[in-house]
Copies of this chain bind each other. A is one copy, B any other.
Amino acid sequence: MHTAAAHATKLELTKSQIVIAPQTAGLFRANSVTTFNAGAEIYAPGDKAGTFYHVEFGAVRIHRLLSDGRRQVIAFHLAGETFGFEADRTHSFFAEAIAPTGLRAINRAANDQALPELLSLALRGMLRAQEHIMMIGRQTAVERIAGFLVDMAERQGGLEHFDIPMTRLDIADYLGLTIETVSRVFAKLRAAGLIKLRSIRCIEIKKHEALRSLCA
């Protein structure tokens, strides 16, 4: 997280969001909340690992670049989720805020007693990655987008409409598609009356069951 300071937020955040005193994120002994602007880097490949993060508000994108610039987004992490575990001493992906984001750092070394919780988080992360493999390995563009929307809806608590913090490019790179295909599929789902785009980043699911039935 070497660029964190450089990207220090210029947003007006309420005092209540930037609590300084340590406090528990779940069962962990945690530190204070650090805020990041949209686009700010949290860590990069090669950075020392060992700290992980609880998203207090905002959203985070985990990704990696191929040498020629192709990008794969590995995961999104929304408010309430935890990320940043690594098998190795150093990180192997980029983590960036995709919206104004508050993170509570949790030091792994200081939480030896919480190993079972950590294991559970790691296993859940593995399962998520495996579901992601299913998604991009064998599903069509429509199936991927439908699955993505259903997943996002569920992770926001199942509301009938919700904001997505990521751009079309983020979605495309997450699903292994292009921005144009994402846009076209959105248009198709809208034309079919399954979703409504309240605004460019606010999605309303009109026919939940129909959308779910598109998921393979």
Q: What residues make up the interface of A, taking CB atoms closer than 8 Å to B?
A: 64, 66-68, 70-72, 74, 85-88, 92-93, 115-116, 118-120, 122-127, 129-130, 132-134, 136-139, 173, 175-176, 216
- Further 7 A-B residue pairs, CB within 8 A, beyond A85-B126, A92-B130, A119-B122: A64-B134, A72-B137, A87-B123, A92-B127, A115-B115, A125-B126, A138-B173
Bound CA span A16–B173, Å: 50
Judge whether A85 and B123 touch: CB under 8 Å.
yes
Interface centre among A66, A71, A126, A173 (most CB of B within 10 A): A126
Bound CA span A70–B136, Å: 12
Q: Which residue of B lies closest to A63 (CB)?
A: B134
| Contact residues in B for A88 (Cβ distance below 8 Å) | 127
Bound CA span A110–B115, Å: 16
Bound CA span A182–B85, Å: 34
Bound CA span A66–B137, Å: 11
Shortest A136–chain B CB gap in Å is 5
Give the number of times this chain occurs in the complex, counting copies: 2
Bound CA span A85–B126, Å: 9
| Contact residues in B for A120 (Cβ distance below 8 Å) | 87
Judge whether B126 and A93 touch: CB under 8 Å.
no
Judge whether A66 and B119 touch: CB under 8 Å.
no
Shortest A79–chain B CB gap in Å is 21
Bound CA span A126–B216, Å: 23
Judge whether A216 and B138 touch: CB under 8 Å.
no
Shortest A7–chain B CB gap in Å is 25
Cβ contact of A216, chosen from B67, B87, B116, cutoff 8 A: B67
Judge whether A176 and B137 touch: CB under 8 Å.
yes
Q: Which residue of B lies closest to A122 (CB)?
A: B122
Bound CA span A125–B68, Å: 27
Shortest A11–chain B CB gap in Å is 31
Shortest A107–chain B CB gap in Å is 15
Bound CA span A123–B86, Å: 6
Judge whether A127 and B176 touch: CB under 8 Å.
no
